[in-house]
């Protein structure tokens, strides 16, 4: 079972015709997003499934003894947020989307109970050889309006 | 020990070895269940057999590229956290697809130490190699050594 539970649609072929193709992606347009609350359960399920076993993510007494002051999420939690905060019509779900590399900056750590909002756009699109590329930019903030992390990546779009 | 003292102890050229990771259908399922990325590239062998991605025939399911990203992250944070280092940035590129049965190994090397107005920063070159020693992902990372956590 995925870490968000049964409501998350895992069949990426559903709604495939509702998703933007490369031609329809407009750089600057906001992607449709929704806020997601990350419980301790979600954070720790995520951590276990990606093989994170640092006590900082699991052991409250240890985490309290560090500068973090309590359990936090692994920085890579944005992997989950990119899909959790978007809808099943989002073009990042299109089958055949190939990730070509990513850059992420981490600001404030995510803590259990945080509600995260995503602002996502395409920043650019281009053709290289015979491949169609889109550059995307994501900004994640917490319920205090603090930036938790920002990322930019490139995907090769399915033809 | 203060973050400043820990920063003074680290040396350019120091190598941080991550744990080796062998790709199975189970690891791909776990990564999909964690990241919510259910792209058939990683789950549907029949579709991968017949699909030609504009000239790249993979022939079989491939590991999520972001699995490299998360293994590099773990390598860095497991080393940084006890040293008062805060993981600030990771930039990655995929060089070669990773397939079922491949064993990959992340590695980070401290490439530079920088002092800014108020900070102690370390740069890392990162690479993930497969069982043949070929790089499958490369990148750079940045960590800040500080006594407090932002936020």
Structure ipTM: 0.96
Q: What percent of chain B has pLDDT over 70?
A: 99
Inter-chain CB proximity A67 and B149 less than 8 Å: yes
Question: Quick one: closest CA in A to B151, which residue?
Answer: A108
Interchain pair A158, B53: CB under 8 A: yes
Task: Give Cα separations from B109 to A60, A76, B81, B89 (angstroms).
Answer: 31, 20, 16, 15
Q: Would you kindly state where each structural domain of chain B is located, as residue ranges?
A: 3-145
Of B33, B89, B151, the CB nearest to A109: B151
Q: Are A27 and A124 in contact (CB under 8 A)?
A: yes
Residues B40, A13: C-beta atoms closer than 8 Å: yes
| Cα distances (Å, whole numbers) of residue A11 to A73, A134, B43, B46, B63 | 27, 23, 11, 16, 18
pTM of the predicted structure, to 2 decimals = 0.96
Sign, CA torsion B141/B144/B145/B147: negative
- Within 8 A of A101 by CB-CB distance, chain B residues are 65, 91-94, 139
- What domains does chain A contain, in order, with CATH numbers? 35-156 (3.10.129.10)
pLDDT digit string, tens, across residues B10-32: 999 999 999 999 999 999 999 99
Averaged pLDDT of chain B: 96
- The DSSP element (H or E) to which B30 belongs, if any, is helix B25-35
Task: List chain A pLDDT tens, one digit each, 159 residues.
Answer: 999 999 999 999 999 999 999 999 999 999 999 999 999 999 999 999 999 999 999 999 999 999 999 999 999 999 999 999 999 999 999 999 999 999 999 999 999 999 999 999 999 999 999 999 999 999 999 999 999 999 999 999 998
Interchain proximity A11–B87, CB inside 8 Å: no
The minimum CA-CA distance between A16 and chain B, rounded to whole Å, is: 12
pLDDT at A6: 93
Give me the CATH topology for the region B3-145.
Answer: Thiol Ester Dehydrase; Chain A (3.10.129)
Closest CB to A95 among B33, B40, B139: B40
Nearest chain A residue to B30 by CA: give it.
Answer: A49
User: Residue B62's closest chain A neighbor by CA?
Assistant: A98
Contact with chain A for residue B81, Cβ under 8 A: yes
């Amino acid at each position: 079972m995925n870490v968000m539970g049964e409501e998350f649609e895992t069949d990426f072929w559903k709604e495939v015709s509702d998703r933007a193709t490369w031609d329809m992606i407009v750089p600057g347009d906001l992607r449709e997003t929704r806020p997601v609350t990350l419980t301790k359960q979600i954070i720790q399920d995520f951590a276990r499934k990606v093989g994170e076993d640092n006590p900082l993510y699991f052991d409250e007494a240890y985490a309290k003894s560090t500068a973090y002051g309590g359990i936090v999420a692994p920085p890579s939690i944005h992997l989950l947020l990119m899909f959790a905060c978007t809808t099943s019509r989002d073009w990042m779900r299109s089958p055949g989307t190939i990730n070509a590399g990513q850059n992420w900056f981490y600001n404030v750590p995510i803590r259990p109970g945080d509600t995260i909002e995503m602002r996502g756009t395409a920043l650019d699109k281009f053709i290289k050889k015979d491949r169609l590329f889109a550059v995307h930019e994501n900004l994640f903030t917490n319920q205090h309006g603090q930036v938790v992390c920002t990322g930019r990546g490139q995907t090769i779009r399915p033809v | 020990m203060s973050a400043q003292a820990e920063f003074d102890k680290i040396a350019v050229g120091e190598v941080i070895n991550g744990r080796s990771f062998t790709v199975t259908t189970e690891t791909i399922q776990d990564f999909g269940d964690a990241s919510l990325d259910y792209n058939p590239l990683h789950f549907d062998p029949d579709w991968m057999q017949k699909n030609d991605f504009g000239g790249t025939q993979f022939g079989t399911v491939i590991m999520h590229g972001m699995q490299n990203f998360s293994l590099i992250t773990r390598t860095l944070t497991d080393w940084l956290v006890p040293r008062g280092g805060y993981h600030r940035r990771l930039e990655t590129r995929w060089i070669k697809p990773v397939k079922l049965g491949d064993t990959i190994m992340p590695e980070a090397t401290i490439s530079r130490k920088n002092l800014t107005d108020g900070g102690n920063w370390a740069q890392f070159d990162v690479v993930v190699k497969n069982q043949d020693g070929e790089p499958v992902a490369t990148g750079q990372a940045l960590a800040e050594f500080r006594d407090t956590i932002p936020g």
